[in-house]
Structure 1
Amino acid sequence: ADNECNIEDKRLWIGNLDPRVTERHIIRFCFVNYWYRLLKLLQKFGAIEKFDLLFHKTGPLAGQPRGYAFVTYVHRQDAQTMMDAVDGTLFGTKNVAVRWAHTMNKVMQQIPILYRLNLKMYSLLL
């Protein structure tokens, strides 16, 4: 039954992420370390199919994280378990929020405002 789930049934939005990672003066090591720790936390709940970290593409915050991420688990139950365990918990200096992700319509998907960090490729994609 898990294999029959739509990706939307296994995809979560993670918001209210630590604002320190969006400040321009932060050193690269701290930025990478924060997201690595987040990814390691998420992996404790099950196999991850995809991890999307979104960045501002233009404007004064260009290149900086948008303060939220998306994670898609292989199994819906792992996503549910992670949401139940992590929502509202302190990570960095903020209590993170975890919700089921909403599907973006095709028009919104084509607007070039986001960079994506794909877990499988570990590279930035448009």
Structure 2
Amino acid sequence: MQDKDNTVILDEKSESRLYVGNLDMRITEAALIKMFSPFGKIVCEDYLWHTCGPKRGEPRGYAFVQFSTKEEAKLAKEKMQGKLACGRPLDVRFARDKYFVETEGKVGKLSGESNKSNRLGNGPGQTSRNAKIAAIKNKLKAMEEEDHDRKRQKQS
């Protein structure tokens, strides 16, 4: 969320919500809750699934776990980051950190889009949507550049 000066405002929810990535497909929602419950009260868990395409119904390999306090989330992050689960190291971060890492260095572009959407009369939800779209476009561009570099290295 951003205020009128495009300063990021973090609410309590974003302070206590963790991104859990690199999940093995064998890890179930119940197993995920069991892994993280020793660190505090889990108030929300979002386990993501493919909703269309050939992988429909399969896990996407990441989830979000929200604790009742940021202290509990911080403890869970410290204890679970890099821990092996089904032979894979977990990638545990604050959910807000994942978003900022992907959009780092793109603040000017995102700010301009936010101002444009506000001038058009769209609400704060639209600003967030435009920021997400810009972050996805930037990520895709970076992935295309990496792929191009790999192809060039193979040719050399």
* TM superposition score category, shorter chain reference: 0.5 to 0.7
2:16 aligned partner = 10
Provide the aligned length of Structure 1 versus Structure 2: 93
Measured in 1, the distance between the counterparts of 2:85 and 2:76 equals 14
Alpha-carbon distance, 1:87 to partner: 0.3
1:40 and 2:34 correspond: yes
Bigger relative contact order, structure 1 or 2 (CA pairs below 8 A, ≥6 apart): 1
Counterparts in 2 of 1:99-114, with a 5 A limit? Answer: 99-102=93-96, 105-106=128-129
2:52 aligned partner = 58
Quick check: which one's strand share is greater?
1
Measured in 1, the distance between the counterparts of 2:84 and 2:29 equals 14
Measured in 1, the distance between the counterparts of 2:79 and 2:85 equals 12
Runs (4+) off by over 2 Å: 102-108
Measured in 1, the distance between the counterparts of 2:16 and 2:129 equals 19
Residue type at the aligned position of 1:55: W
Aligned-pair RMSD on alpha carbons?
2.2
Measured in 2, the distance between the counterparts of 1:38 and 1:58 equals 23
Structure 1: tracts of 5 or more residues without a match = 22-30, 109-126
Alpha-carbon distance, 1:106 to partner: 4.0
Q: Which has the larger radius of gyration?
A: 2
Quick check: which one's helix share is greater?
2
- Note the alpha carbon deviations across 1:5-39, whole angstroms, 9 max, x for none: 520010010000114x3xxxxxxxxx6xx432221
Residue type at the aligned position of 1:41: M
Greater shift, 37-46 or 67-76, is seen at 37-46
Measured in 1, the distance between the counterparts of 2:21 and 2:45 equals 13
Structure 2: tracts of 5 or more residues without a match = 1-10, 100-124, 133-156
2:148 aligned partner = none
Measured in 2, the distance between the counterparts of 1:59 and 1:77 equals 39
Calculate percent identity across the aligned residue pairs. Answer: 33
Residue type at the aligned position of 1:8: S
1:86 and 2:80 correspond: yes
